[in-house]
């Protein structure tokens, strides 16, 4: 643990970091106060350069461009093939506004895209569907959960995705697009949307496994040797789980809505798969709840272990003090300097007293043994 979690405590004590953690609790997923709705305000940039990337495919053919321009993307809208346009980085609001205008997106959708930190949601607009999905990752260096917002727009022949950073969890999906004969290539954009959402939900397991491992290591420490830091780390871990939980709960409702949706953009064939994503999300929630339960059980265990040990410490003290304090008193008596103390002159006085002390001491020992303290 000492190798793995030193950050937990240091960061928790670091006001600066604390502020950032708190910033996570009260997520300000709204435009700057007083601004008109639909006003696009650039969020703080998390990547240097906004990057466009598209895939365009049909059953027998696929095309890929990692550094596309907006204009190259616009062409795709009028092709009958399935197109997936991905934007990494949200701070270039001009670009996003341009795309919004071209694809006919509602101002509120554009605002949602550029304000990260929102709850998962699914909204049906006339000719397209809009999905917000939080992506979670475990920042191994700082030992915190990091959230990123994925916005997904599903139209009749395209899927747009917007992410805050470069790296993502879609490598597998891209590979399947490039693979001839894969199911993904044979189906429409709704199946692509499904595949992307599935990849995101699937990645939650990685995060939970990491949290689960940390929980396990803490459990071991609470059982073996609870220290003051152990409780602090339990607290920190509890908070990380809370962050995960807050992201994941809305997912259930959202995916339930997706599944019940009768929008024609979602074919029945794909809806069967959507049910699967829903099931996975529910299972992730189960796991989060289990972790929460285990951690709050650990808090109980910690408290009761400490209580029990205090009790043990007290017993040792009480036994030592109760045996020797009376004996010391007896010795004190005969250390007095009174001129007339008959016992002092007795020949057997000293050994008699030693005997009496032994009897008193053994009496105490027996008393404590009967009480079960020894």
**Contacting a second copy within 109-148 (CB under 8 A):** 118-119, 121, 123
Residues 6 or more apart in contact with residue 207 via CB below 8 angstroms: 136, 137, 138, 145, 244
CA-CA distance, 152 to 162, in Å (whole number)?
7
Q: Which stretch binds a second copy (CB under 8 A): 42-50, 52-60, 138-146, 194-202?
A: 194-202
Backbone phi, then psi, for 40, in 5-degree steps? -85, 120
Q: Which of 73/323 has CB closer to a second copy?
A: 323
The first and second tokens of residue 81, run together, are: 């093939």
With contacts defined by CB under 8 A, name the span among 49-57, 71-79, 157-165, 334-342 that binds a second copy.
334-342
Q: Give the list of residues 6+ apart from residue 172 with CB closer than 8 angstroms, or none.
A: 199
Interaction pattern, residues 39-78, with a second copy; x per rule: CB under 8 A: ----------------------------------------
Asked if residue 165 binds a second copy (CB under 8 A), the reply is no
363 binds a second copy (CB under 8 A): no
Using the rule CB under 8 A, give the single segment among 54-62, 157-165, 206-214, 259-267 that binds a second copy. 206-214
Task: Give CA–CA dist 254/265, Å, rounded.
Answer: 17
- The correct pick among 69, 94, 156, 318 for binding a second copy (CB under 8 A) is 318
Q: Which of residues 231-250 bind a second copy (CB under 8 A)?
A: 231-232, 235, 238-239, 242, 246
Q: How far are the Cα atoms of 101, 186, 221 from residue 306, in angstroms, in the given order? A: 63, 62, 13
Closest CA to 1 of 234, 302, 238: 234
In 3D space, the residue among 183, 187, 193 whose CA is nearest the CA of residue 261 turns out to be: 193
In terms of CB distance, is 78 or 228 closer to a second copy? 228
φ, ψ of residue 163 in degrees (nearest 5): -125, 160
Closest CB to a second copy among 81 and 322? 322
Which residues are bridge partners to 63 per DSSP?
56
256 to 275: interface string for a second copy, x by CB under 8 A: ----------------xx-x
């Amino acid at each position: 643990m000492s190798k793995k979690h030193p950050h937990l405590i240091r960061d928790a004590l670091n006001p600066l970091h604390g502020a950032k953690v708190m910033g996570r609790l009260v997520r300000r997923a709204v435009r700057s106060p007083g601004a008109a709705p639909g006003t696009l305000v650039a969020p703080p940039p998390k990547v240097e350069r906004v990057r466009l990337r598209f895939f365009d495919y049909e059953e027998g053919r696929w095309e890929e461009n990692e550094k596309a321009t907006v204009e190259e993307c616009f062409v795709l809208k009028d092709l009958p093939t399935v197109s997936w346009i991905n934007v990494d980085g949200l701070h270039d609001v001009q670009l996003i506004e341009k795309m919004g205008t071209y694809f006919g997106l509602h101002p509120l959708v554009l605002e949602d895209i550029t304000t990260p930190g929102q709850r998962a949601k699914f909204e049906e607009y006339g000719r397209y569907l809009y999905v917000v999905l939080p992506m979670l990752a475990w920042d191994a260096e700082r030992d915190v959960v990091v959230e990123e917002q994925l916005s997904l727009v599903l139209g009749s022949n395209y899927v747009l995705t917007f992410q805050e950073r470069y790296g993502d969890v879609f490598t597998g999906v891209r590979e399947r697009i490039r693979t001839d004969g894969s199911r993904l290539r044979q189906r429409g954009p709704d199946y692509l949307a499904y595949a992307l959402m599935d990849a995101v939900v699937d990645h939650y397991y990685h995060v939970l496994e990491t949290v689960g491992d940390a929980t396990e290591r803490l459990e071991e420490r609470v059982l073996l040797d609870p220290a003051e830091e152990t409780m602090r780390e339990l607290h920190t871990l509890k908070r990380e789980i809370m962050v995960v939980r807050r992201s994941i709960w809305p997912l259930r409702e959202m995916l339930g809505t997706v599944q019940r949706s009768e929008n024609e953009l979602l074919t029945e064939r794909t809806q069967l798969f959507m049910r699967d994503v829903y099931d996975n999300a529910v299972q992730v929630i189960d796991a989060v709840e289990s972790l929460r339960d285990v951690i709050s059980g650990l808090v109980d265990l910690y408290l009761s272990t400490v209580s029990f040990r205090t009790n043990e410490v007290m017993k040792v003290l009480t036994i030592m003090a109760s045996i020797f304090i009376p004996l010391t008193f007896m010795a004190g008596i005969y250390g007095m300097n009174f001129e007339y103390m008959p016992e002092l002159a007795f020949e057997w006085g000293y050994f008699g007293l030693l005997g009496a002390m032994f009897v008193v001491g053994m009496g105490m020992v027996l008393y404590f043994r009967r009480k079960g303290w020894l």
